[in-house]
Chains A and B, each alone.
Chain A
């Protein structure tokens, strides 16, 4: 079995770290691509340790190669011909993907927030008093419906506020990046989850910009991570496995 770590351009030597289950990582040439793989007697079990070993190999390749497209953890091929067939099928996409990420790294940005407000924004945090007394003659059915309506309004206001705050942060940071992926989560802890593809020398500038815009909104918390191999920029547009 062959476990695949990444497709790359230009690494001159295999990564200096062991792969999944401690196996040595080797580089296979396939047309214009270089593929980092390890060989196994059987498909390695998908453990947390294996996933982390996979990540460590991709990290190391990022330092050794001109361009790296990390392959999602868990891709195992029966043999080399099966792997090469899969690479042939995606060759154009992979070559284009490598060009896109060449000389660039990914920076992760997560922004935490307080959904109840706290930055002076109008946010209905206190639940409305029971509506049974209001207007009289309501009854439990009416109270229930009023509660539902109020809850819906709170949800809408929260979503609107989340979109606005997220747009402020993303809008400030995105112009510094070559590409980006972002999701407005608006969960209890997390407002925004984003990844930015940036030229290597641009990492610090992007982090500084993120810090500045978050500081303009008290109540937001910033978590920048990286530089990462461009995991978020290795997929093909329109391909979203599992929905």
Chain B
């Protein structure tokens, strides 16, 4: 089973990671990064749409991110 400490949401700095953001973080990696081997049949059909939708979600969600580290107490 997947240990909870490896779920990205648990490592978010200063707040909860929205589901959308967690999804984007995963998709950004599995679709856009990683080893590329040759000779494969690349399943590219949904790739671009998934990433584009995801990145838009992420940009939208940054507004709700905490403005300072927790306990910092500094006014923004």
Contacts and interface: CB of A to CB of B under 8 A. Distances in A.
Interface of A: 1, 4, 6-7, 16-17, 43-48, 51-52, 54-56, 58-60, 62-63, 69-78, 82, 85-87, 89-90, 94, 97, 107-108, 110, 112, 118, 187-190, 207, 210-212, 214-215, 218-228, 231-232, 234-236, 239, 241
28 contacts: A6-B35, A7-B35, A46-B45, A48-B46, A51-B50, A52-B30, A54-B30, A56-B2, A62-B6, A72-B30, A73-B31, A73-B34, A76-B40, A86-B38, A90-B38, A108-B8, A189-B62, A207-B13, A220-B67, A221-B62, A221-B66, A222-B13, A222-B65, A223-B21, A225-B8, A226-B8, A231-B33, A236-B36
Contacts of B62: 110, 112, 189-190, 221, 223
Contact of B42 (A7, A74, A239): A74
Contacts of B60: 189
Interface in B15-31: 17, 21-23, 25-27, 29-31
Main secondary structure of the interface of A (DSSP, over half): mixed
Contacts of B34: 69-73, 231, 234-235
Contacts of A82: 39
A231 to B, nearest CB: 4
